Amino acid sequence: MKRKPQGPGKQADGTEDRFTGPAWRDRDGRGARRRKRIRIGAAVVVAAGAAVLVLNPGDIRSNLPGRLGGDTTAAAPLPPETAAPGAAPADEAFPATPTLAAPFAGLPAVRYAAAAAGIVLPDAGPVGRLSKDEVADVLRKAKELLTDANLNPRTLRGERPTAALGLIDPLRTDVREDVAAGLAKPDRDHDPLRLFTRFDPHEVRLVGDVVKTRGRMTFEEGRDGAPALHTDHTFVHPVVRAAPGASEVTRTVVRRVVGVEINDPARFRVTPGKLALTGYDSDFGNNACAVYDGFPHPQFPDSRAAAEASGPATGPYDRSKELRDEKAGACGTVSRIQGRGRAT
């Protein structure tokens, strides 16, 4: 999604820059990218392009007992991710079936780190005008934003992500207005799921208190010496229906890519200590297609397919590829949500 170019010295809201140049990305006439791809039932919609992948509830699921599939809860954790993997993780020979006691069984996520431990900060160093300590502070704030947006129990049960919102530069009006509109009255053009993970507590509840996380954070010197930060993380949320006694477990897999740029307050209109988002893309595995109410809607094995599947299955744990825009309205399948086979 692009904003109309502003002339030199103009802000996102059209006002003149009170410093010596334009604000943030307005230097080249572009606002923060905002996309959300969804894979249903396992579904994924790509915002501002939007491809949706839907899962087929009639797909094969593993009925092997957990002990035959291996006690995957005891699997050795993966080392921190320092670069994009060369390929998707291999299929399990005998994937276990998820349960309330072992909600990540049978999937690569069983080896992911728990919660914020999977958001590993790189070693800080001086970049452009920022010292090592200043870069370290930016990295910590980026982790705080990701943690509140994707891992905070209050955010996950649909409450307002107050801490994350407090970290976003209020002078970045395109982001502020997009996020505010999505939280107040979500629709296709203003979807809070582009940046936050929030479930409808009347529909599903999280299993346990652990969300599995894997990804990486990098930084470099960007344009005009401005430090540029890039985050790419996958969050795996096990859920059951909110009905009393519900025990059938499924997973929603969210991959988020967020860009941050730190400009010089002596040259640009910025709020010191806040984060300016230059882009935020997301990919939802196991979510209903074409629903824009501000919540993902995980599909269970007995759920009715929201759309006919087409195209090859896509693995939500494949971190070897970049997120890309896909054809709007396209529906396909997503694999490895509920054991082996297409996701449900």
Q: What is the pLDDT along the chain (344 residues), one digit of tens a residue?
A: 333 333 333 333 333 333 233 333 333 333 566 666 545 443 333 333 333 333 333 333 333 333 333 344 457 889 999 999 999 898 776 678 899 999 999 889 999 999 999 999 999 999 998 999 999 999 999 999 999 999 999 999 999 999 999 999 999 999 999 999 999 999 999 999 999 999 999 999 999 999 999 999 999 998 878 889 999 999 999 999 999 999 999 999 999 999 999 988 888 899 999 999 999 999 888 888 888 999 999 988 766 554 445 555 678 899 998 886 554 444 556 766 653 322 32
Neighbours of 94 (CB within 10 A): 15
164 occurs within a structural domain? yes
Strand partners, 16: 10
Does residue 105 form part of some domain? Answer: yes
Would 18 be classed as within a structural domain?
A: no
**21 located within any domain:** no
Is 181 exposed, middle or buried (CB count within 10 Å of its CB: 0-12, 13-18, 19+)?
Answer: middle
Evaluate whether residue 306 is within a structural domain: yes
0.85 exceeded by pTM? no
- The phi-psi region of residue 71 (left if phi > 0; otherwise alpha if psi is between -120 and 50; otherwise beta) is beta
Supply the range of the domain harboring residue 291. Answer: 35-73+94-334
Number of domains in the chain: 1
Instruction: Evaluate whether residue 4 is within a structural domain.
Output: no
Q: Which long-range contacts (CB under 8 A, 24 or more apart) does 70-73 make?
A: 70/94, 70/96, 71/96, 71/102, 72/96, 72/102, 72/104, 72/105, 72/106, 72/107, 72/110, 73/102, 73/104, 73/105, 73/110
Residue 14 placed within a domain = no
Q: Is residue 5 part of a domain?
A: no
Assigned token pair, 30: 């572009």
